[in-house]
Amino acid sequence: MIDQTRLSRRRFLASTAGGAAAFTLRNTASANEKPPSRRQAVPAAPLAMWALTGTLESDDVCRQLDAYAGARWGVMLYPRWGLELEYLGQAWFDRIRFIVEQAARRNMEVWLYDEFTWPSGHAKGLVTRGREDLQAQLLHVERDGRSRVASVAGCANLLMPEATRRFLEVTHERYASAIGEFFGTTVRAIFSDEPSLAHQHRPRSAGQTGWQLPWSAAMDKALGGDFRKRMAEVSDVAKWPGWRDYWSAYARTFHDAWVAPIADWCTAHGIQMTGHFLGEGSFGSQVAFNGSLRLQQRTLGIPGIDEISTRTDVNRCEALTLASMSELAGRERMVEVYALGPPSMTLDTMRKMVDLCSSCGVDRYILAICPFDLRGGFFKREYLGAYGPQQPWFRECARPFAEYVAEAALRARAAKPLGVPWPSDEALWAAAGPLPTHSDALKAMTAKFVTAARQAIRARLKPDPVAGPVTTGPACQDLSWHFAPKGLNSLRLDQPALTILAPPGKAELSVQMQLVRQLRINGKKVDLNAAPKDQQFDLSYRRLTITNLLHKGENRFEADLVETKPLAFLPALILWGDFAVDDKGRLVAPPQTIKLGDWRRQGFPCFCGTGRYRTEADFTSPPARLVLDTGGYPARVAVNGIDLGLRPWPPMRFELSGAARAGRNEIVVEVTSTLGHLFVADRSPAVGLLAMRFEP
């Protein structure tokens, strides 16, 4: 903020009851201080939010690190549901050290994540274990101004410096002991994810007449020790102007008790504090969840925001948070992105999200999530974002995506602030009342700001060239396409019976070990423990060769399942093989030819992989280019054996000069689908060689 705003805050705090106490908690990280200097050669690689699950065996770790290093990605080490090691136990730190050592050998960038899953600040309950005095406190306020203070079991009080010291002891200090020699080189940052209290994630209950507010002794002191007494003496507590005192004290106390000590610890240890805060999307939620978003963001070494909904349309984007990033010129700025998926998301959507964020100065991208294995889907069932090696496109497209991010980072670092005037914190606090998220004044301020910010962002974005839909040209309509998967077709098995009209020559079965206790195939019991881990697909599955167990007619897959209903994002059984599927769900022989259009309607309803189309075309005069519609999914083209390259995203336009010739030409098109086309095929977009045309 500019000096005038800083001075008005100083005058405001000095004029409120307890304001001076609030300001003296800590005044070494004012909103006007200079940001940390940027290193001369800051990397720009995307970072996989690497969800660490299972036991993290060395060979498996190294294979995935090789994949990320080959794509020129870094990794953030993110403990997640499905982890089979004790979080922050000795085995956990042994594995962390191994991972960091291996990453260093591969010259990879590593960030740490400071919590088990989310939200940050509690160390999976370790902060308050045996320390009830560090539990979070809530100030329950009634309409008449009466209040009481109650503790929140298992939840750390982020407004207590003592709780923060304990959090640092059980997390950061132990990471420093385990891998401190890599700090500032391989390990560059520690990520804090929406540090907050449990009650802040729950909506206001229907019919609730009072309010629940974060509280601590430091808050009480900042408010002069008489805040509750003053409340009890007013006739209409909902309209009481004293709430601005509360929110000003809350912003500073949260900053001084939690944000600043962790940032200082990171600076002292040669790394950066990074992450983002809860409730960034409106002025009301900013006040409610962190008091002052801009104050908290400016303290982070690498400030960040959240855009997990992936809204690339400027009319729907998180304009307020993007605007906040644009104000922090000259610094690394981070976004956590894509987490809500869907797993069928195109790389084109991912690219457009990079364009949107980079226009506002964001140069670091955390791809949430990239699972070590998919077992976390047993615990997190609502959605799936997956951008790691389980995606069929990863092998060929992850590196072009990284190159695109690196180019966008250069643009981001030259981006200037949007220039939209920000309301002062004092104005926000004065309009907040006891429930900022319901404040009509703050809603109006948010709407006005967002409208202006979106207009400013829209002016910065270079629109993609407007191209009409690809229609199949006359020269392509009569072509006969031979089609086959590069590898094996796939089919999730959610029913015990499968009719086979043509037994496949090769059949394999992936079995999800969290879901399947026992399995019989056509009456024969399968020894699941003897089956190897499925390194071709995902490590949380075991993979069986079952060609000889299948026969023509009805086949039975009798699984003793932990869950009675299929899980959308974690199939219990996946069949792989050289088969096709007819419109009645029966296995048939693969077709020799296929029409242009969605391959899911032509024998491959759940195909997760790369499909290879081949045809021959006669040209009197060779065309200049070939244009494809693949549904936005990656495509590679070869003509007469000459590789014309890979297109990870549209436009799918391939120049034919030097490849096409007069007479007979062989044309090969490869299209790659996604994990979503296997898991939730009916919810996923059309995929395949949908249409094509030759251009002169």
- The two three-digit tokens of residue 451, written as one number: 């409208």
- The two three-digit tokens of residue 294, written as one number: 């801009």
Which domains, from first to last, does the chain contain?
A: 3-122+160-194+241-460 (3.20.20.150), 470-486+590-696 (2.60.120.260), 489-577 (no CATH)
Averaged pLDDT, 127-154: 95
- The two three-digit tokens of residue 250, written as one number: 């809350």
**HEC string for 142-197:** CCCCCEEEEEEEEEECCCCHHHHHHHHHHCHHHHHHHHHHHECCCEEEEEEECCCC
DSSP state string for 382-441: S-----STTSTTHHHHHHHHHHHHHHHHHHHHTPPP--PPPPPHHHHHHHHTT-GGG-HH
- The two three-digit tokens of residue 192, written as one number: 């804090």
Q: Do residues 17 and 223 lie in contact, with contact meaning Cβ atoms separated by under 8 Å?
A: yes
Which range of 192-206, 334-348, 458-472 scores highest in mean pLDDT? It is 334-348
pLDDT exceeds 50 at position 20: no
Averaged pLDDT, 6-24: 32
pLDDT exceeds 80 at position 57: yes
Q: Do residues 50 and 77 lie in contact, with contact meaning Cβ atoms separated by under 8 Å?
A: yes
User: Helix, strand, or coil here: 85?
Assistant: coil
Q: Which tens digits make up the pLDDT trace of 308-342?
A: 899 999 999 999 999 999 999 999 999 999 999 99
pLDDT exceeds 60 at position 25: no
- Please identify which residue in the block is written with the tokens 């496109």: 393
Averaged pLDDT, 585-612: 96
27: confidence class by pLDDT, cuts 50, 70, 90:
very low
207: confidence class by pLDDT, cuts 50, 70, 90:
confident
What burial class does residue 219 get, using C-beta atoms within 10 Å of its C-beta: 0-12 exposed, 13-18 middle, 19+ buried? Answer: buried
Q: How confident is the model at residue 216, as a pLDDT? A: 97
Report in angstroms the alpha-carbon separations of 88 from 136, 277, 389.
22, 23, 26
Q: Do residues 13 and 23 lie in contact, with contact meaning Cβ atoms separated by under 8 Å?
A: yes
Q: How confident is the model at residue 18, as a pLDDT? A: 33
- The two three-digit tokens of residue 554, written as one number: 């009805």
Say which range, 182-191, 215-224, 472-481, 645-654, has the weakest mean pLDDT: 472-481
| CA nearest to 372, candidates 58, 59, 67, 53 | 53
15: confidence class by pLDDT, cuts 50, 70, 90:
very low
CA dist., res. 82 & res. 539, Å (int):
12
**pTM, entire model:** 0.92
How does 477-512 read in b/e, with b if 16+ C-beta sit within 10 Å? eebebebebebbbbbbbeeeebebeebbeebbbbbb
Q: How confident is the model at residue 123, as a pLDDT? A: 97
pLDDT exceeds 90 at position 485: yes
pLDDT exceeds 90 at position 140: yes
43: confidence class by pLDDT, cuts 50, 70, 90:
confident
For β-strands 211-215 and 691-695, DSSP reports them as unpaired
Averaged pLDDT, 21-48: 50
5: confidence class by pLDDT, cuts 50, 70, 90:
very low
Q: Which tens digits make up the pLDDT trace of 58-106?
A: 999 999 999 999 999 999 999 999 999 999 999 999 999 999 999 999 9
